[in-house]
Amino acid sequence: MSILKAVRGTRDLLPPETELWNYVESTARSVFARYNFGEIRTPVFEDTQLFARGVGEETDIVSKEMYTWEDRARAQSEKAQSLTLRPENTAGVVRAYIEHKLGETGQLQKLYYIGPQFRRERPQKGRYRQFYQIGAEVIGPPSAGSESPLRDAEVLEMLASLLDALGISGWTLNINSVGSASDRPLYVEKLREALKPVVGQMCVDCQRRAETNPLRVLDCKVPEDQGIIDTLPRIADSLDEASTAHFAAVCAALDACGVPYHRNHRLVRGLDYYTRTTFEFTHGGLGAQNALLGGGRYDGLSEMLGGPKAPGIGFAIGEDRLVLTLEAQRAGEHLAELADAYLAPMGTALDAPALALARELRREGLRIDLGDGSFRLKKSFESGNKVARQIVLFGEDELQSGILTVKNFSTGEQTKVPREQLVAMLKST
Ligand code: HAM
């Protein structure tokens, strides 16, 4: 029979690597808590329309990367529906914001999420079909200050602090402003005009984008097109006064708290909902897929989904890429945490009392690996040496006398310890 494997672009995460994932997630949770964010969990699949309207029909994500299916009706009362595995989480968060009328609280909503996303992309290092994002959104009515450049700068400063807290070194923050819903169309028109005489010399993707979504031309990575792209008009020169002032205020606040950034005129991002500030943190160690995280402002998204005016800003970190970066930085370090002790019952009659002892030790907060009474002593030692710092021998004599033998694997030292002192002894070594 053929052996079944995980589907292309998906993978299993196993210990000890999952320790690193848990470390990343718990660090993110504690940093987000310090900025007073709360967690939101939205469904993994949504109505296809949400992404078509929110992310944009013309984007690569919606036009070719979504996992979409027709969900059949199971009863007369149900309708068939087109559903999609979420390719990103911002649209789902804004849907929930509208559905639960969170705007009526009058407060800024500061929400974070951690979970899987799905895109049918060509798998390669750092790019998977099921991948994980750690993201956050700040959204609310304008009266709550949701449009303020301070929000943008605070989110960026939080990200810099999170990467520092995780020990990620060598990141670069790229920022740009793509303008508001009113000044962007003017720029797009200018770009269209500028592209007309030159687009024939560009790659086929650019020729298509020049028609459907000219901004995306700025994203092109084809080396032969770069010379032409450099001559195209810059968004910064088309921003109106309000957008220019907004962006200047974001930069000034970053300067004030010492977060370094690089103004990248070509950063437009691949989702249609962005307005004004957009950003990406890149890392050189990642190779072709060098975007560690991306985000920006989406002041019109709520209205696009039928909701009230609710400007917002957010980001999503590619957790897979963050873990890859950490792994590369910590190369050679032993990831697996060893148990405090391996408890070895010496004979199957000792299995049940050993479980009771393990229960007591675990309740004291010790990390205990429980062996098996059917193992010979040699096998217990070999197994214990792989997973724990020390071994506790538990035989009939020990049960009667209440004195246990503990051997430390790294020093080779063997000691007799009375049961009452076992917890303290295991904790101290
Ligand atoms: P995005 O740039 O599409 O933005 O994705 C954010 C991050 O997710 C990327 O920078 C990358 O690290 C990671 N990522 C994307 N696709 C893959 C993949 N196939 N495999 C591994 N990692 C991947 C968004 O998703 C927006 N929702 C971010 C946002 C939140 N904007 C505002 N709020």
Which atom of ligand 1 sits closest to the CA of residue 127? 20
**Whole-number Å distance between alpha carbons of 380 and 375:** 6
Ligand 1, CB cutoff 6 Å, lining residues: 88-90, 119, 121, 126-128, 131, 133, 135, 137, 270-271, 291-296, 298, 314-316, 318, 320-321
C-alpha angle 78-81-87 in degrees, rounded to nearest 5: 140
Q: Tokens 């696009």 appear where?
A: 304
CA of 353 to the centre of ligand 1 (A): 51
Beta bridge partners of 82: 70
pLDDT score, position 332 = 64
Write the residue with the smallest CA distance to atom 12 of ligand 1. Answer: 318
Which atom of ligand 1 sits closest to the CA of residue 119? 19
CA of 159 to the centre of ligand 1 (A): 14
Write the residue with the smallest CA distance to atom 8 of ligand 1. Answer: 318
CA of 243 to the centre of ligand 1 (A): 25
Write the residue with the smallest CA distance to atom 23 of ligand 1. Answer: 318
Backbone φ and ψ of 57, nearest 5°: -60, -35
Write the residue with the smallest CA distance to atom 9 of ligand 1. Answer: 293
Helical segments of 35-107, H only: 48-54, 60, 90-99
Write the residue with the smallest CA distance to atom 31 of ligand 1. Answer: 295
Q: Is the peptide bond before 142 cis (omega within 30 degrees of 0)?
A: no
**Whole-number Å distance between alpha carbons of 393 and 212:** 72
Task: Give how far Cα 244 sits from Cα of 124, 265, 280, Å.
Answer: 38, 13, 19
| Residue partners of 386: CB distance under 8 A and separation at least 6 | none
Identify which of 124, 133, 269 to mutate to test ligand 1's pocket (most ligand atoms within 8 A of the CB): 133
CA of 209 to the centre of ligand 1 (A): 21
CA of 42 to the centre of ligand 1 (A): 16
Q: Which region holds residue 165: left if phi is over 0, alpha if psi is between -120 and 50, else beta? A: alpha
**Whole-number Å distance between alpha carbons of 250 and 278:** 11
**H or E element that contains 123:** none
pLDDT tens digits, the chain, 429 residues: what are they? 999 999 999 999 999 899 999 999 999 999 999 999 999 999 999 999 999 999 999 889 999 999 999 999 888 888 999 999 999 999 999 999 999 999 999 999 999 999 999 999 999 999 999 999 999 999 999 999 999 999 999 999 999 999 999 999 999 999 999 999 888 888 999 999 999 999 999 999 999 989 888 998 998 889 999 999 999 999 999 999 999 999 999 999 999 999 999 999 999 888 999 999 999 999 988 888 899 999 999 999 999 999 999 999 999 999 999 999 999 988 767 667 899 999 999 999 999 999 999 999 999 999 999 999 999 999 999 999 999 999 999 999 999 999 999 999 999 999 999 999 999 999 998
Q: What is the CA radius of gyration of the chain?
A: 28
Which atom of ligand 1 sits closest to the CA of residue 129? 19
CA of 38 to the centre of ligand 1 (A): 20
Nearest in space to 321 (alpha carbons), one of 171, 109, 205: 171
Write the residue with the smallest CA distance to atom 4 of ligand 1. Answer: 294
Pairing of strands 171-177, 262-263: parallel
Write the residue with the smallest CA distance to atom 30 of ligand 1. Answer: 315
Backbone φ and ψ of 339, nearest 5°: -65, 155
Q: Where are the beta strands (DSSP E) in 37-92?
A: 38-39, 45-47, 68-71, 81-85
Q: Tokens 């799905």 appear where?
A: 118
Beta bridge partners of 114: 134
DSSP 104: G
Write the residue with the smallest CA distance to atom 2 of ligand 1. Answer: 294
Identify which of 321, 323, 324 to mutate to test ligand 1's pocket (most ligand atoms within 8 A of the CB): 321
* Global confidence as pTM: 0.93
pLDDT score, position 176 = 97
Write the residue with the smallest CA distance to atom 14 of ligand 1. Answer: 318
Nearest in space to 304 (alpha carbons), one of 280, 269, 274: 274
* Two tokens, residue 216: 């995306």
Beta bridge partners of 132: 116
Identify which of 111, 131, 155 to mutate to test ligand 1's pocket (most ligand atoms within 8 A of the CB): 131
Identify which of 121, 129, 271, 313 to mutate to test ligand 1's pocket (most ligand atoms within 8 A of the CB): 271
Nearest in space to 251 (alpha carbons), one of 173, 311, 182: 173
